[in-house]
Structure 1
Amino acid sequence: MHSSATFLIEFGAIILGLGLLGRFAGRFQFSPIPLYLLAGLAFGEGGLLPLGTSEEFVAIGAEIGVILLLLMLGLEYTATDLVSNLKTQYPAGLVDAALNALPGAAMALLLGWGPVAAVVLAGVTWISSSGVIAKVLGDLGRLGNRETPVILSILVLEDLSMAVYLPIITALLAGAGLAAGSATLAIALGVAGLVLVVAVRYGRHLSRFVSSDDPEKLLLVVLGLTLLVAGVAQQLQVSAAVGAFLVGIALSGEVAEGAHGLLSPLRDLFAAVFFVFFGLHTDPASIPPVLLPALALALVTAGTKIATGYWAAKRAGISAKGRWRAGGTLVARGEFSIVIAGLAVTSGIEPRLGPLATAYVLILVIVGPLTARFTEPVATRLTGRSRRSTTTVTETPQDRDLVPSPDAPAEK
């Protein structure tokens, strides 16, 4: 009885605190994610007041939060949108991997950690946080923006790449032979492909099966199906997030609209719990020794992510403002990076890799919502000043009257 009462007090305090932090962030019109993370850091391992009985429940809630974030993203788009975006955006996925994985690998090699650690840290710096970005897009009201499908295409390509990367890194860390590693990879690819085919070809049948006029039944069936598919996918070495996203893709029409309205409050609740959980498992004492390398890596890869999003959006014909928004939104790292680092820590290949990855992700998961909001206005202001300065130096008023610049209307 005492344990149950303690759990209710702890968890109730967490939810109340999240609500107050959310209201504070809303008053100043910025994303509450950094506040959620800092709250978790304050009350986690080595923090001011570590939690006790509610930690296990928070861990489960955090996993559900990521699943619901990706499900809700999937509900925004149809299977046709997914296939079309993947066909047109795969070059952006290749650029994304090259620009963002290489800095992590290079840092590990410079620190003398060896090739296996280099492959691990490459994954940490490569993959953006689908959970954080999904929350940011919702908070900023950008789900309907023209650049959002480009952002989602890159995220989906990254998540699908994890179906290949995670079995490889698991085999490397375990020292498994070629045959065992190949079998694991083949299973992961087969499962991911099967779920994708079902989502694309049989989505209408699935929507009819799930459809119900009763909100309670619709909520239970959609939520149960999502958790089931996510669990099976994870059991077979495929990302649970990919499974949840594809369930959302498969649902369409009135079912998708109804599920979106019913699940939005649950998504917000469990997503907030996810960000707190991330902070809870970060020991503040482990950060200072690796802070400088983490800051350097965060600075470089924030720039490479912005460049990735800008290039991908430009390739899709998005305006300059949309390109900067796409780049700034992709900066955050999160759940996948921590999963990858956790595998390395468990295997014991390099004791400093875990704290470095944690500090790196913590920096970018706090900075990410800020770059998503401010990259576009800052870039627009700087480029506007640069253009005005160039015009003042190289042209006279008479020259501009005689030979009007074709860019003049756009600058106005």
Structure 2
Amino acid sequence: MGHADTLIAMGGAFLAAAVLARLGGRIGLPTIPLFILAGIILGPHTPGVVLISDPHDLEMLSALGLVLLLFYLGLEFHLDDLKAGGRKMAVAGGTYLALNVGAGLAFGFALGWGTSEALVLAGVLGISSSAIVTKVLVDTGRLGNRETRPVLGIIVVEDIFLALYLAALQPILSGADSLAAAVGDGAKAFAFLLLLALAARFGTRLVGRLFSTPDDELLVISFLGAAVFVAGVSEWFGVADAIGAFMVGLMLGSTSSGERIRKLVHPLRDAFGAIFFFAFGLSIDPGDLPVVLWPVLAAVAVTLVMNVLAGVAAARLYRFHRQEAANISTTLLARGEFALIMATMAAAAGLDSRLSPFIAGYVLLLAVLGPLAAGRSHWLARILPGRDSDDGDGDGDGKEKRVGDGGEDAGHGAGLIPGGTAAAAPGRR
């Protein structure tokens, strides 16, 4: 692709996402499926205008979008939350994984496509999309809700599990019969995760000094460079780049510059996050979906049930009400970038050709249903067991009321949608 074509493609991607998001905002649709729809419409697999013929042309911008989304998630997940709720976080995350990964593995074997395929499907059905979860929390204004802490905790546990699962799965898919190689890859990934965790726990003061500057331009360059660099190093060690970016955000969010970084990263997060979902849409060929329609619908039904069970279990663990259980269940529903990683691995390993269209259809359907369900979680709350919310604000959303909420940060979560749902100011937890 030439220089002019690249610029046209990039500019067109931004504009297409903005136009569809603006139109969707007028009728109350969430941004995520609209960004994906823009990619499908303007991609190589649909008739009409083809803005980008090769999805890999946006690969770097898409990766940057994912990094920024997870970096922002780390900024919001304060270290005090990890210290105070580590045990509950591990139990909630472990329960979520046991239900969803276990159901995915059983579903994979039930399809009868093969053992390797079943292992891939266990990861696909078991892991939420960190990028979509982040965007849903922002768009629905739930960053200040008390159930957001276990949601983010479950995401952290999922990312750690994913890093180890990918390391263990790779030699199986590649046909390697060396247990030592598999154990070595897993140990390398775990060691790097431990290093990041120790840096986040004990290195915050030093990091704060290194990033302390009154110059906004220098601060943007510094945190952007750190997030991207650590994300790349993480991938080299076999850890998902998303968890590396998350850990950088976790460290910087606890420094004296944390509040400024949150404000400065908002426009970058929204712009490149839109490109991430647009690029995802480019990779989907709608013509492949009818072949796997029934397995996709069955997998979506399984995921819905498992998410509700996991949400109820987490709510009981944290003594939440049923509205908060519904929020947890629907917020974690979407699948996305990690499922696509699984699809790429499966294709490279020459597994069943039905896997790629299945994963694409499954992810697309949940990418649409997830944000829609999250915005209407009160419908689910009506049929869940447990108590009604008694937070006193009359809206039943379980939102913590803090002095200062709804300040200058309110409304930033509307992303590219003018007049979208305002997000509560995240504040300090």
Same fold (TM over 0.5): yes
| CA distance in 2 between partners of 1:256 and 1:27 (Å) | 34
Is the Cα–Cα contact under 8 Å of residues 204 and 251 in structure 2 kept in the other structure? yes
* Aligned match of 1:274: 276
* Aligned match of 2:90: 90
Matches within 5 A, 1:328-407: 328-375=330-377, 377-382=378-383
Cα–Cα, structure 1 residues 342 and 70, in superposed 2: closer, same or farther, change >3 Å?
Answer: same
Q: Are 1:138 and 2:113 an aligned pair?
A: no
CA offset at residue 8 of structure 1?
A: 2.4
| CA distance in 2 between partners of 1:382 and 1:106 (Å) | 27
| CA distance in 1 between partners of 2:383 and 2:170 (Å) | 44
Structure with the largest fraction of helix: 1
Is the Cα–Cα contact under 8 Å of residues 43 and 53 in structure 2 kept in the other structure? no
Cα–Cα, structure 1 residues 360 and 53, in superposed 2: closer, same or farther, change >3 Å?
Answer: closer
| CA distance in 2 between partners of 1:77 and 1:105 (Å) | 30
Is the Cα–Cα contact under 8 Å of residues 204 and 250 in structure 1 kept in the other structure? no
| CA distance in 1 between partners of 2:53 and 2:359 (Å) | 27
Task: Provide TM-score, normalisation by structure 1.
Answer: 0.89
| CA distance in 1 between partners of 2:25 and 2:96 (Å) | 32
Secondary structure in 1 matching 2:46: coil
Among 294, 299, 320, the residue aligned to 2:322: 320
Is the Cα–Cα contact under 8 Å of residues 66 and 271 in structure 1 kept in the other structure? yes
Q: Which moved more, 1:218-227 or 1:17-26?
A: 17-26
CA offset at residue 15 of structure 1?
A: 1.1
Cα–Cα, structure 1 residues 253 and 179, in superposed 2: closer, same or farther, change >3 Å?
Answer: closer
Task: Provide TM-score, normalisation by structure 2.
Answer: 0.86
Q: Are 1:21 and 2:13 an aligned pair?
A: no
Is the Cα–Cα contact under 8 Å of residues 322 and 384 in structure 2 kept in the other structure? no
| CA distance in 2 between partners of 1:310 and 1:24 (Å) | 35
Q: Which moved more, 1:125-134 or 1:68-77?
A: 68-77
Q: C-alpha offsets along residues 172-231 of structure 1, whole Å, 9 cap, x if unaligned?
A: 101221011111111010011101111111112112211110000000000001111000
Q: Which moved more, 1:182-191 or 1:49-58?
A: 49-58
CA offset at residue 122 of structure 1?
A: 0.3
CA offset at residue 86 of structure 1?
A: 3.0
Letter paired with 1:121? L
Letter paired with 2:274? A
Q: Which moved more, 1:27-36 or 1:135-144?
A: 27-36
* Aligned match of 1:113: 113
Cα–Cα, structure 1 residues 203 and 102, in superposed 2: closer, same or farther, change >3 Å?
Answer: same
Q: C-alpha offsets along residues 347-386 of structure 1, whole Å, 9 cap, x if unaligned?
A: 01211111111111111111110111112x21344569x9
Is the Cα–Cα contact under 8 Å of residues 7 and 54 in structure 1 kept in the other structure? no
Cα–Cα, structure 1 residues 211 and 29, in superposed 2: closer, same or farther, change >3 Å?
Answer: farther
Percent of aligned positions that are identical: 38
Letter paired with 1:236? F
Letter paired with 2:161? S
Q: Which moved more, 1:326-335 or 1:19-28?
A: 19-28
Q: Are 1:69 and 2:90 an aligned pair?
A: no
CA offset at residue 306 of structure 1?
A: 2.3
Is the Cα–Cα contact under 8 Å of residues 173 and 344 in structure 1 kept in the other structure? yes
Matches within 5 A, 1:192-231: 192-231=193-232
Is the Cα–Cα contact under 8 Å of residues 80 and 200 in structure 1 kept in the other structure? no
Is the Cα–Cα contact under 8 Å of residues 129 and 334 in structure 1 kept in the other structure? yes
CA offset at residue 105 of structure 1?
A: 1.7
Cα–Cα, structure 1 residues 290 and 56, in superposed 2: closer, same or farther, change >3 Å?
Answer: closer
* Aligned match of 1:399: none
| CA distance in 1 between partners of 2:384 and 2:133 (Å) | 26
Is the Cα–Cα contact under 8 Å of residues 63 and 274 in structure 1 kept in the other structure? yes
| CA distance in 2 between partners of 1:336 and 1:285 (Å) | 23
Q: Which residues of structure 1 form unaligned runs of 5+?
A: 388-409
CA offset at residue 108 of structure 1?
A: 2.1
Cα–Cα, structure 1 residues 86 and 383, in superposed 2: closer, same or farther, change >3 Å?
Answer: closer
Letter paired with 1:267? R
CA offset at residue 304 of structure 1?
A: 0.8
* Aligned match of 2:158: 158
Q: Which moved more, 1:332-341 or 1:315-324?
A: 315-324
Q: Which moved more, 1:224-233 or 1:318-327?
A: 318-327
Cα–Cα, structure 1 residues 214 and 381, in superposed 2: closer, same or farther, change >3 Å?
Answer: same
Is the Cα–Cα contact under 8 Å of residues 89 and 312 in structure 1 kept in the other structure? no
| CA distance in 1 between partners of 2:322 and 2:259 (Å) | 31
Is the Cα–Cα contact under 8 Å of residues 306 and 330 in structure 1 kept in the other structure? no
Cα–Cα, structure 1 residues 382 and 185, in superposed 2: closer, same or farther, change >3 Å?
Answer: closer
Is the Cα–Cα contact under 8 Å of residues 307 and 332 in structure 2 kept in the other structure? yes
Is the Cα–Cα contact under 8 Å of residues 45 and 282 in structure 1 kept in the other structure? no
Letter paired with 2:121? L
Is the Cα–Cα contact under 8 Å of residues 230 and 241 in structure 1 kept in the other structure? yes
CA RMSD of aligned residues (A): 2.1
Secondary structure in 1 matching 2:376: helix
Is the Cα–Cα contact under 8 Å of residues 188 and 237 in structure 1 kept in the other structure? yes
Letter paired with 1:336? F
| CA distance in 2 between partners of 1:43 and 1:200 (Å) | 45
Is the Cα–Cα contact under 8 Å of residues 3 and 53 in structure 1 kept in the other structure? no
